[in-house]
Homo-oligomer: A and B are copies of this chain.
Amino acid sequence: MRTPALTQIKPARMGDAAHEDMRCTDCPIRYRAVCAHCEGDELTQLEQIKFYRSFEPGQPIVWEGDRMDFVASVVTGVATLTQTLEDGRTQMVGLLLPSDFLGRPGREHVAYNATAATKVVLCCFRRKPFDDMIRGTPHLAHRLLEMTLDELDAAREWMLLLGRKTAREKIASFIAIIARREAALHKRRPGGRMELELPLTREAMADYLGLTIETVSRQVGALKRDGVIELSGKRGVILPDFARLVEESGDDSDGGWLA
């Protein structure tokens, strides 16, 4: 198992200070991240233990077994969590989009490999003071509970995909998930014609879906041939009809996607 070539990555350094001056009140994820319910004093406290870090695509963020000295919110970009078996088989177990939370409070060591899929900016909190705040700040703890419950729901949806869907359904489901999140980001409902950019390479998609990259490639091709999707470049996808895609995903005709 070889580690991805890190050599070409330019020195985006830890503790990068490009954003140190950003105020929480201007933050693009202010009302969706773990800090969403915090105001006034609580927010000030958070602001005092926070710092920003950026990562280039492909760059590891933290590695399984590392000492965990911070937790973080994704401000912009997409990060992935992966697990591996000793022989190198890998499965993605988390896909972190803006406002998602990285790390487990109270845990000393990292449990999963976290990698930047695109350029990523994290809002990091020093772990010790953050842990203390969890205990003393109900708004923070409550928001984290909400977010963790949402993650758990997403993980369970994902388990259904991994255990019971066909390759074609998996691909359709993945594109639909990205489309929904894209729509949510612009505060619109998914539907009709949509255009979007896949935030993952074929390999990362394969790790997400429990497939090989060859199968991903073939099924993407099949969906294109069947007119369910159109491609523009390697990452760009156009959906002539979102509902058609959902049909292909094997999910309930429509229900359950209102929350």
Contact = CB atoms under 8 A, between A and B. Distances in A.
Contact of A112 (B94, B156, B251, B253): B156
Interface in A138-153: 138, 141-142, 144-146, 148-149, 151-153
Copies in the complex: 2
Given A86-B252, A86-B253, A138-B135, A91 B159 contact: yes
Contacts of A163: 91, 162, 209-210
B164 A91 contact: yes
A66 to B, nearest CB: 14
A251 to B, nearest CB: 7
Interface of A: 81, 83, 85-87, 89-91, 93-94, 104, 106, 111-112, 134-135, 138, 141-142, 144-146, 148-149, 151-153, 155-160, 162-165, 209-210, 250-253
29 contacts: A83-B159, A85-B160, A85-B164, A85-B250, A85-B251, A85-B252, A86-B252, A86-B253, A87-B250, A91-B159, A93-B156, A94-B156, A112-B156, A134-B145, A141-B142, A144-B145, A145-B148, A148-B148, A148-B149, A152-B152, A152-B155, A155-B155, A155-B156, A155-B159, A159-B159, A162-B162, A162-B163, A163-B209, A163-B210
